[in-house]
Structure 1
Amino acid sequence: MSLAGNIYLISAVAVIGGGLFGFDISSMSAIIGTKNYLCYFHQGPAPLTEDDCKGPKPDVQGGITASMAGGSWLGALVSGFLSDIFGRKTSIMIGALIWIVGSVITCAAQNIAMLIVGRIINGFSVGICSAQVPVYIAELAPPSKRGRLIGAQQWAITWGIMIMFYISYGSSKVEGPAGFRIAWGLQMIPAILLFFGLMPLPESPRWLARKDRWEDCLAVLTLVHGKGDPNSPFVQREYEEIKEMCEFERRNADVTYLELLKPNMINRTHVGVFTQIWSQLTGMNVMMYYITYVFGMAGLTEDTLMISSSIQYVINVVMTVPALLWVDRWGRRMPLLIGAFFMMLWLFINAGLLASKGSPAPENRPIEAQSWEISGPPSKAVIACTYLFVASFACTWGPVSWIYPPELFPLRVRGKAVALATSSNWAFNFALGYFVPPAFVNIQWKTYILFAVFCAAMFIHVFFMFPETSGKTLEEVEGIFTDPDGIKYIGVPAWKTRVDFRRAALLEQTGLKDEEKMEPVHEAPANKE
């Protein structure tokens, strides 16, 4: 049995898998505007000087950027099978090894094709880790801490983005291809730490239960939740609930992805999938990948451009902290609604500023995607609204989009369900990564309008269709959709479900199972005779 039972330590190691995604984002965003990269991967007539280097064409650059998300889409889907067969922890370790292979190929890239292959392999790794890290943590964490612990994956992503950006910025000062090869080679370090760090950690007790390893399941619950006492009330309650759920699930057919489309599952499947789709359609990762394009349009150049871009990565790290501290009290619905509203606001303001105060960029511009320009005070307002947009995402959709999907599904389908939801994230990440550079060329400032409309749509969708899951055990969340134990959740509109943090904390302290001794999560009105 593993020696590491502290849930915070377990989460801190596991979320390094999220850091891999962050490393990949900024390893591209910090490099695509440097002379080293533009000259080495230049397409078109041979440049006379370094200033004539334009790098890959916009659609090719979109393909390079999107190739990682394409690999992630496939990796997320495959992770459902890996996780169910080998376990949550082992599947993440496999992802770490694949990342190392991809980083070696990317670092050694001799041309665009080789770079794309390396990024696809890196993406395959990120798809596995981003899908299964939330599942692993969700199945180990107690209800009152589950949100902050799963949300730590988003914090790890923000740290990865920031750290890799500064590494890439520093290495860009090195002359020649070494300027980007150093940064891409250093990407291997967090994967090595993740692989060896996971070795002493326990496997998910719920996965162990599915494999009929009941002694190991109880041992993990005792280690993580009971402080060594197998008779702890909370351990016993959790163990009994897992047994009941497993017995119920054994009466059902073997699980396939088609199970997620059945009438009793389609509602939560649509909610989980759209949580991840909307997180991409906010436009946040576009800001992460192509921020140097956006700030270049605002008139920033060279070191000023890079330093200003890095500020948003710092904001991203800092503003994720409030969500980690209070998301279990805030719940899931309220951050999603507030985040959608404010992101929509900043995007509309930016679109208005660019449309009214900006103008088309000259034809001989160094980077074709920087098709618009704005200067003076309006350009500073564009930069400020971009920072506010990042802050709005960081404390709302950023962490909650990872927290929410694992909470929605029962044990028998959780691995595949979260894999499907995460694969939707990567499918749209791929589409947007490929779409945005040509969009900046063709529709220019109207790109902001597009994402603002998406934010308005997601606000409406969340309000009417996304129920609150905070403060409930994973087995109790099942009651929102299937009404076990006679608790009347069915028919309660999503906007009437609520957070019950106090009840979750009481549950962990006492291990009570009698619902009458605790305030109910939500009960529908009694039927009138």
Structure 2
Amino acid sequence: MAASIWLGPRDDGDNHPSKLTRFDYITCVFASMGGLMFGYDIGISGTHAEQILTFFLFAYAFNLWWSNVYGRFLEKFFPTIFQRDPVERSGNQYCKFNSHTLTLFTSSLYLAALASSLIASCATRRFGRKISMLIGGLVFLAGAVFNVLAMQVWMLIVGRLLLGLGVGFAIQSVPIYVSEMAPYKHRGALNNLFQLSITLGILIANVVNYFTVKIHGGWGWRVSLGGAAVPAIFLSAVAWIIPNTPNSMIEKGELRQAREMLRRIRGVSDDRIEAEFRNLVAASEASKEVLNPWRNLLQRKYRPQLVMSILIPAFQQLTGINVVMFYAPVLFQSLGFGSNASLFSAVVSGLVNVGATLVAVYGADKWGRRKLFLEGGIQMLVFQVALAVLIALKFGVTGTASHLPHWYSTVVVVCICGYVAAFAWSWGPLGWLVPSEIFPLEIRSAAQSIAVSVNMLFTFLVAEVFLSMLCGLKSGFFIFFAALVTIMTVFVYMFVPETKNIPIENMTEVWKRHWYWKRFMPAQDNVLEFYRSVVNALGLPMDVGNCPGKGNPK
């Protein structure tokens, strides 16, 4: 909606109940587990992408039963790789794994996710959040089946595209679902469970990789890729049984069911939910006036939300985190770790990722979004510079490894873990949380699709150019991302307001009080007049006052 209104007093000065019921908590936890799919794929891709590529190349070389079909395809579309020894490795450690086909395989999923998130916007708005979650789970499951059974490259490509389509639906709908179900004082913690599930997925994938890489016969990658079916089945089952959000019910005209669901998830009497219910109804009526939410996003009054929906997801990926999580085993191996040791180190960093995300689950609503953003940015900057120095000491500018003490490798792991921890309690969860909570209902689905699309676009771009950048920039690669982290930290300090403890329907007040964004907000009287007409048309009483909220925008 376009403005914030106070629709009834409460004992503590807030107009929305803040109690977290067991039913609401369990529902949000189960829904948030949709992030397992995304995280599992991130963890699996980096380890097995090259193994899969090598498998297909050797299959052609040894003339397996399907080799003529795939060989002709490979010779026609990938003549350079067709002629290259699949196990050839450059002596330059910076360029050891520089393969365009490898990066394209790994990053292609995110182009599909980008496209599907735009489609998911329409499905989420028209059919509800849980339907989009169900579609995401089923499509991701189909992709996992294609990958595990792949005997020709087209099956692998189709599988990756289906995985991407499923991811797009899931990450477009899950954050919105949790934001709408959660009480405003617990919205940060519950929404950060989505990022926690992503980190759990990465950790599980790293553990699976550690064991499947030891499977003889070269088919361990099938087990790893097939494991993606488990979180897909879980999300599909969850989406089938969880309820729709009150917002979604109201949008479909199910007012009685919406009131009952709101009472159930808030755990208070009908009179205690009346103010929040009227706010939701008014927001829904306002959203019906918006025939084209995509066009409305360009209106001046939505400028702050539009900027945040573009820059926050872009900055999240420009921290460089996914290059570490995609290729952690490859990176550790390039630094001189053995195969098993590199996988074990990736498991360690995965554990740190999960543990640090728990800090964000606790701290987002206690300390606020801005403090975590700023602290995480400074910490990432420090460890990125340290990594650049350590890698330069190891490989210099030629990429030739030099002999350093045994403790050197331990220091590298510590620095990577410190960097991962900083991301995990700042840009990791908050990059999903903040965009999902700042949009008014009438543009929420469309704006969330933009946030997801930008995230997937930059995930693709970073994954696509990472190995080439590492080969070209060498240790300066980490300095490059450190410079970007500096820019985004300054941006947060100047332009990102605090949104903790602000009801999602009242978020517009945050922008009105911000030193810069307030210039884009419409006049208070005009907006209140619009809402007064909406509420009067519904025959509801309306008591307008100051908007609550304990946030302290910059």
Q: TM-score, normalized by length of structure 1? A: 0.85
What residue number does 2:54 align with?
38
Q: Tell me, what secondary structure is at the counterpart of 1:160?
A: helix
Deviations 1:53-99 (A, max 9, x none): x9996111110111111111112221111101110011110110100
Report the counterpart of residue 36 of structure 2 in structure 1. 19
Following superposition, the deviation at residue 37 of structure 1 comes to 5.9
Distance in 1 separating the partners of 2:155 and 2:171: 24
- CA change 1:513–1:319 in 2 (3 A) is farther
Within a 5 Å distance, the mapping from 1:196-211 to structure 2 comes to 196-211=237-252
Q: Residue 448 in 1 paired to residue 448 in 2? A: no
Q: For residues 374 and 202 of structure 1, do their structure 2 counterparts lie closer, same or farther at Cα, with a shift above 3 Å needed? A: farther
Q: State the identity %.
A: 26
From the superposition, tell whether residues 58 and 37 of structure 1 become closer, same or farther in structure 2 (CA, over 3 Å).
closer
Tell me if structure 1 keeps the 8 A contact 2:98–2:471. no
Displacement, 1:117?
2.6
Structure 2 unaligned spans of 5+: 1-20, 59-80, 519-541
C-alpha distance 350-473 of structure 1, shift in aligned 2 (>3 A): same
Partner Cα distance (1:8, 1:218) in 2: 18
Corresponding residue number in structure 1 for 2:449:
419
| 3-state DSSP of counterpart to 1:121 | helix
Q: Please name the residue that 1:328 is paired with.
A: 365
- Does residue 228 of structure 2 align to residue 212 of structure 1? no
Q: Tell me the SS of whatever aligns to 1:265.
A: helix
Aligned to 1:349: 386
Tell me the CA shift for residue 152 of structure 1.
0.2
CA contact 1:299–1:375 (8 Å) conserved in 2: no
Q: For 1:17, give the aligned amino acid.
A: G
Q: How far did residue 430 of structure 1 move? A: 0.5
Indicate if the aligned counterparts of 2:134 and 2:239 stay in contact, CA closer than 8 A: yes
The 1:15/1:115 distance shift into structure 2, 3 A limit, reads same
| Structure 1 segment 299-310 matched on structure 2, within 5 A | 299-310=336-347
Partners of 1:519 and 1:289 in 2: CA distance: 39
For 2:87 and 2:482, the matched residues in 1 are separated by 40
Given that 1:354 and 1:374 are in contact with CA atoms closer than 8 Å, whether structure 2 keeps it comes out as: no
User: Matches of 1:172 and 1:16 in 2, distance apart?
Assistant: 26
Distance change >3 Å, CA 520–CA 173, structure 1 → 2: closer
* Aligned: 1:260 with 2:297: yes
The one-letter amino acid paired with 2:270 is P
Tell me the matched-pair count.
Answer: 484
The amino acid across from 1:12 in the alignment is V
Q: Deviations over 1:15-67 (max 9, x none)?
A: 12111001101111232465x76344464457598999x99961111101111
Deviation at 1:215, TM superposition (A): 1.0
| Contact persistence 1:37–1:180 (CA under 8 A) | no
Q: 1:195 corresponds to which residue?
A: 236
Question: Partners of 2:438 and 2:547 in 1: how far apart?
Answer: 25
Structure 2 vs 1, CA of residues 473 and 48 (structure 1 numbering), >3 Å: closer, same or farther? closer
> Which runs of no fewer than 5 residues in structure 1 stay unpaired?
363-370, 484-488, 495-511, 525-529
**2:417 corresponds to 1:387:** yes
Answer yes or no: is 1:312 the counterpart of 2:353: no
The residue number in structure 2 matching 1:137 is: 178
- Alpha-carbon separation, structure 2, partners of 1:92 and 1:147: 20
Cα root mean square deviation, aligned: 2.9
Q: How does 1:370-385 map to 2 (within 5 A)?
A: 375-376=404-405, 377-385=407-415
Higher RCO (C-alpha under 8 Å, 6+ residues apart):
2
Cα offsets for 1:365-400 (capped at 9, x unmatched): xxxxxx877743444332221111001111111111
Which residue of structure 2 lines up, in the alignment, with residue 498 of structure 1? none
* Shift in alpha-carbon separation, 1:315–1:237, aligned structure 2, 3 A: same
Q: Which amino acid aligns with 1:291?
A: A
Q: Distance in 1 between matches of 2:86 and 2:24?
A: 58
Give distance in 2, aligned partners of 1:522 and 1:37: 52
In structure 2, the residue matched to 1:236 is: 274
Question: Among residues 437, 442, 454, which one is paired with 1:407 in the alignment?
Answer: 437
Partner of 1:118: 159
Tell me which moved more, 377-386 or 206-215.
377-386
Mapped to 2, the partners of 1:385 and 1:192 lie a distance apart of: 36
Q: How does 1:447-526 map to 2 (within 5 A)?
A: 447-481=477-511, 489=513, 491=515
Quick one: distance in 2 between partners of 1:57 and 1:297? 11
Normalising by structure 2, what TM-score?
0.81
Match of 1:81 among 113, 122, 125: 122
Question: Residues 248 and 517 from structure 1, CA distance in 2 versus in 1: closer, same or farther, beyond 3 angstroms?
Answer: closer
Cα distance in 2 for partners of 1:467, 1:321 equals 23
Contact kept? 1:272, 1:408, Cα under 8 Å: no
Partner of residue 502, structure 1: none
- Stretch of structure 1 that moved more, 311-320 or 169-178: 169-178
* Match 2:461 to one of 409, 431, 434: 431
Query: Counterpart amino acid of 2:35?
Result: G
Distance 1:283 1:75 in 2: 24
TM superposition shift of 1:273: 1.8
3-state DSSP class of the match of 2:242? Answer: coil
